[in-house]
Every structure is written in C-alpha cells, then in structure tokens.
Amino acid sequence: MAPFSTVDLACPTGAAIPIEERDAAEVRGYGPLRWAPEGMPAWNPSFDVTPVDLVTSLVLDRGVYSAAELKTGALAVGKY
C-alpha cells in the first residue's frame, strides 16, 4: 500500500520519474561480509518503475483502483 501523496498526476509516463541511485557498496556486502569484490561495478537503484501494462491495480491509502479505473481517470482531482 502506498500513500496517495506519492501519486503524481502530472507525470506523463514512468520514463519521467527520476530514480535515485544508492551506493553500490550496499549490494556488494554487509559489514564485514562480502558477496562481491570491493570495487566491483554495481547498479543500485532505490526502486524501479513497473510498466503500466503489468499493473492490474493500484493499492493506496484511499482505496484500491483497478487498471480499468485508472485508465478512466479515477485518480483525477475530485474523483477519489
């Protein structure tokens, strides 16, 4: 579940969402434990964006919206 405040109705597509990149060291190990060599290249995005074709519903603190409801603008101002 996500809070409605995370929804950006002005964002045209997932491609427009900036994705924070975290320190690569976070995926190389933890503390003294290593599962990848120090300095090994790694990409560590803080989250990913699900392609809209794979979304079946959106679960928010204000309700659950089906893909069909989202396509008809169910989240538009005044409709939630």
* pLDDT per residue as tens digits for the range 1-60: 999 998 888 988 889 999 999 999 999 999 999 999 988 999 999 999 998 889 999 999
Q: Is 71 a residue whose pLDDT tops 60?
A: yes
* Domain layout of the chain by residue ranges: 4-10+20-71
Sorted by sequence, the CB contacts under 8 Å of residue 71 that are 6+ apart come out as: none
What is the distance between the alpha carbons of residues 17 and 69, in angstroms, rounded to a whole number?
Answer: 22
Predicted pLDDT of residue 33:
94
Residue 13 exposed, middle or buried by CB count within 10 Å (0-12, 13-18, 19+)? exposed
pTM, entire model: 0.65
Predicted pLDDT of residue 73:
87
> Which residue(s) pair with 66 in the sheet?
57
